[in-house]
Amino acid sequence: MLNLAFIFDDAIHALTRYAKDLAVVPLPAAVYMMQVDVINHYHYALEHYLTVALDAPFLQNSSRGTPYQKWALVTNEDFETLSFAVHNLLRYTSRLIHETECLVHMGGRSSEEQRSAFAERLLQSGEKFWEERKIKSNSYTGPICEIRYRNKSIGVMVHDDHRLSLVAVRTEPSPKRLKVRSTAGDSILYFRVTIVDGTEHEQPIEKDEYERLERLTETIQAKEIDIRDRSRLVTLRERGRVEIAELRSRNRAFAEVCNAFYQSRRVAQPFENLNKSYWI
């Protein structure tokens, strides 16, 4: 429904495969807590108001407007809180990924262990290292930037005219690639990128076309649903319940990995690594 499973799976993979490279020891515990936050708020948003009938007594004669308006207001508030929790989970899972699986040698600011891990990974993967790292990194920086700079949210948003938007994270990569380049005279050029026989080709396009294509490549995508037939809300709730069950299973698996990680480490340890702009 919201396609959140990959965030949980990536955390398991990163801590299972690359725990020895992690310098920020408290980070897995923070990610675990935020996974539970997402699960709890997802459950609450589905069960609190989403499927309430508009003739419910507590919706009548409300200072918040018509029964539909009050229902929409509370439902949107519930899902806004869920979206906040998902944003936090994306940010801190991104940090976990970039501190482990996508670790990059940062010169003098890296520890000896980090420099060694980076060199070993580069030796093993060669050129694939950079492409794989880019794909993994973009799967987090994409939605994080859309939330931060385009005011996107993840979840459900109810509109005034008996419609709602189901807003999920797109997990498959976009087939379209775009580029923007500034010239010496401060003018901005826009390009559509195609790959032929492994070689990139840039096709100049106008700004309007760039903006149209950019909307198609966004990671966070909305699907509108007509809810005049309110049985569709029950269907949404059931889909959400299925996803929550899957997330709980993954969260239990991550808990096991975390507990194994902390058997030989204290959770509360100082660290020097700074936040990076692309994961906040």
Spell out the domain ranges in the chain. Answer: 5-174+226-279, 178-218
Give 28-74 pLDDT, tens digit per residue: 999 999 999 999 999 999 999 999 999 999 999 999 999 999 999 99
pLDDT at 82 over 80: yes
Q: How many CB atoms lie within 10 A of CB 105?
A: 14
Which one has a higher pLDDT value, 229 or 122? Answer: 229
pTM over 0.85: no
Q: For a pLDDT cut of 70, what percent of the chain falls above it? A: 81
Which one has a higher pLDDT value, 20 or 214? Answer: 20
Is 31 in contact with 12 (CB distance < 8 Å)? Answer: no
HSE-up (13 A, CA, CB side) for residue 49: 20
Q: Would you give the DSSP letter of residue 100?
A: T
Read out DSSP for 207-242?
HHHHHHHHHHH-SEEEEEEE-SSTHHHHHHHHHHHH
What per-residue confidence (pLDDT) applies to 128? 64
What per-residue confidence (pLDDT) applies to 108? 41
What per-residue confidence (pLDDT) applies to 107? 44
Report how far residue 177's alpha carbon sits from residue 200's, in angstroms, rounded to the nearest whole number.
10
- The strand order across the sheet containing 177-182 reads 177-182, 188-196, 199-205
Give 117-140 pLDDT, tens digit per residue: 656 666 666 556 656 677 788 788
What per-residue confidence (pLDDT) applies to 65? 95
pLDDT at 109 over 70: no
Give the chain's mean pLDDT: 86
Give 155-208 pLDDT, tens digit per residue: 999 999 999 999 999 766 555 576 777 776 667 888 888 777 667 778 888 888
